[in-house]
Amino acid sequence: MNRFDVIIIGAGPGGIYSALELTRLRPDLKVAVFEMGHPLDRRRCPIDGKKVKNCVKCPTCAIMNGFGGAGAFSDGKYNITNDFGGTLYEYIGRDEAMDLMRYVDRINVENGGGQTALYSTAGSRFKKLCMQNKLTLLEASVRHLGTDINYVVLGNLYDQLKDRVTFFFDTQVDAIEKLGGGYRVRFGGDSADCETCVVSVGRSGSKWMEKVCGELGIGTKSNRVDLGVRVELPAVIFSHITDELYESKIVYRTEKYEDPVRTFCMNPRGIVVNENTNGVVTVNGHSFEDEARKTDNTNFALLVSKHFSEPFRDSNGYGESIVRLSNMLGGGAIVQRFGDLERGRRSTPKRISEGTVKPTLAATPGDLSLVLPKRILDGIIEMIYALDKIAPGTANDDTLLYGVEVKFYNMEVDLDEHLETCHKGLYVIGDGSGVTHSLSHASASGVFVARQIAER
Ligand SMILES: Cc1cc2nc3c(=O)[nH]c(=O)nc-3n(C[C@H](O)[C@H](O)[C@H](O)COP(=O)(O)OP(=O)(O)OC[C@H]3O[C@@H](n4cnc5c(N)ncnc54)[C@H](O)[C@@H]3O)c2cc1C
């Protein structure tokens, strides 16, 4: 019988932590997790850079879908802060949000992350240095698991869950229907019923989430996308900062437009990677704990937030169109030397190969000024010069810029302070709710909702 007390849709950090906390607090409950992707050990992207160079559009993307969600092959940076990564604190309060993130951190540490470092900006001398140069260093502690240890932690969490929870892998939920005293989820011609339903479908499930909200009359709003580039430079240029803080979130307000530009996802001695989101190729970054896999370069994103007002509502569509433009010109991601961008000329394979920074991603040399809107590009250039004051060398000619990096935001689902929709027993958590945008906030939202359900 497909009847459960709780059904969780999505096995990303939100869904995993929800299931974990539920099984700890209420082992008597019958819990099912539906996941459209594969189990962790079967998640393999066919792109090997040799036989398969580009995305072959698998039915489910091994990078974005499956046990571990979008974060499975991520750098595993768990930021413990209310300053970025989501607005969970607006719903549940600042103290509780921090407590939950620390709780998640303890579980990660107990499950394989014990040897990893916890960095903190508290009392850092860089705060003053940033301030003196019109930059703001945001407050955070960050546990850097690294892609390899993150995978180990996920494997251990799965081992704890597999006998206590019924997993339905490779099973995409098509619809949620409201019943008299609960919900029915429909999948591939079959269905399952539950009293309580937790939806945790992440960014990859955002379009589906919008459809569900429309069908169930749940309000939504959507108005933001972040666009920019990934910067790659010799690790020594940023090592005084990354050795102490690992990840620093630095914000700059441009002189020209007063737009905030921020650093995002810093990967000391890491690699730049391609990412396929909704069929378009963007860039991102990784780094490994394993010394043997470290490189001589550091990379980080510089992003500018674009907020739209009514009547335009398709902020993600706008971001996708800009990425498509880069894909049209470059056949994928584009790379350009900062010096070429400043001189108004494209980078060529020769100019890149003659440069001192050896690219860690084989992107097409090109011209980002043909892709990014002027206002965004102006902001990025201003920020590079501002960063050059605290990390001299950032604005060197050979610094590489990869484009396009984009951060899509899910539409925000109307939720109350319990992260519950207008329908009792239907919760929406993690990035799919629009409330969180990070591993730590998504995981914390899962624990929070599990505790609400366990109490009821
Ligand atoms: C390359 C990369 C690197 C990143 N690095 C970091 C980092 O270092 N630090 C950080 O804080 N954040 C990082 N992030 C973001 C982070 O991964 C997300 O914020 C986090 O995974 C969100 O968790 P979630 O559970 O809400 O959603 P997800 O992790 O997206 O999980 C949602 C799951 O739901 C499944 N799903 C979707 N729709 C359905 C459906 N209809 N039926 C069944 N299943 C469905 C999906 O397959 C997916 O597995 C990174 C993201 C990427 C892509």
Give the distance (Å) from ligand 1 centre to CA of residue 66. 9
To test the pocket of ligand 1, the residue of 201, 208, 411 to mutate (highest count of ligand atoms within 8 Å of its CB) is 201
The percent of residues in the chain predicted with pLDDT above 90, rounded, is: 79
* Nearest-atom index, ligand 1, CA of 273: 1
> Is the beta carbon of 359 within 6 A of some atom in ligand 1?
no
Q: What is the predicted pLDDT for the residue at 312?
A: 84
75 pLDDT band (50/70/90 cuts)?
A: confident
Least confident stretch, 305-309, 330-334, 433-437 = 305-309
Give the distance (Å) from ligand 1 centre to CA of residue 273. 17
- Per-residue pLDDT at 411 exceeds 90: no
pLDDT digits (tens, 9 = 90+) for 238-280: 999 999 888 889 999 999 899 999 999 999 999 999 988 777 8
Q: Give the whole-angstrom CA distance, residue 17 versus residue 417.
A: 19
Query: Between the CA atoms of 168, 174, 178 and 180, what dihedral angle is there, to the nearest 10 degrees?
Result: -50
Q: What are the phi and psi torsion angles at 313 (to 5°)?
A: -125, -10
Residue 24 has, within 13 A of its CA and on its CB side, a CA count of 12
> Is the beta carbon of 77 within 6 A of some atom in ligand 1?
yes
pLDDT digits (tens, 9 = 90+) for 105-117: 999 999 999 999 8
Average predicted confidence (pLDDT) for the chain: 94
Nearest CA to ligand 1 atom 27: 202
Which pTM value belongs to this model? 0.84
* Nearest-atom index, ligand 1, CA of 437: 19
Q: How far is CA 136 from CA 129, 384, 440, in A?
A: 9, 14, 22
Q: What is the predicted pLDDT for the residue at 245?
A: 86
> Is the beta carbon of 442 within 6 A of some atom in ligand 1?
yes
Q: What are the phi and psi torsion angles at 61 (to 5°)?
A: -80, 125
Q: Give the whole-angstrom CA distance, residue 265 versus residue 268.
A: 10
Give the distance (Å) from ligand 1 centre to CA of residue 321. 22
> Is the beta carbon of 246 within 6 A of some atom in ligand 1?
no
1 pLDDT band (50/70/90 cuts)?
A: low
- Per-residue pLDDT at 81 exceeds 80: yes
Nearest CA to ligand 1 atom 46: 65
- Per-residue pLDDT at 170 exceeds 70: yes
Query: Between the CA atoms of 225, 143, 74 and 270, what dihedral angle is there, to the nearest 10 degrees?
Result: 100
Can you read off the two tokens belonging to residue 236? 């020594």
pLDDT digits (tens, 9 = 90+) for 25-68: 999 999 999 999 999 999 988 877 678 877 787 888 888 899 99
The percent of residues in the chain predicted with pLDDT above 70, rounded, is: 100
Q: What is the predicted pLDDT for the residue at 122?
A: 83
Can you read off the two tokens belonging to residue 430? 């993690």
What number is the average pLDDT over the span 125-147? 92
Nearest CA to ligand 1 atom 20: 439
Cβ atoms 342, 381 nearer than 8 A: yes
Q: What is the predicted pLDDT for the residue at 29?
A: 97
> Is the beta carbon of 341 within 6 A of some atom in ligand 1?
no
Q: What is the predicted pLDDT for the residue at 46?
A: 86
To test the pocket of ligand 1, the residue of 212, 438, 441, 448 to mutate (highest count of ligand atoms within 8 Å of its CB) is 438
- Per-residue pLDDT at 435 exceeds 90: yes
What number is the average pLDDT over the span 311-334? 91
What number is the average pLDDT over the span 390-410? 95
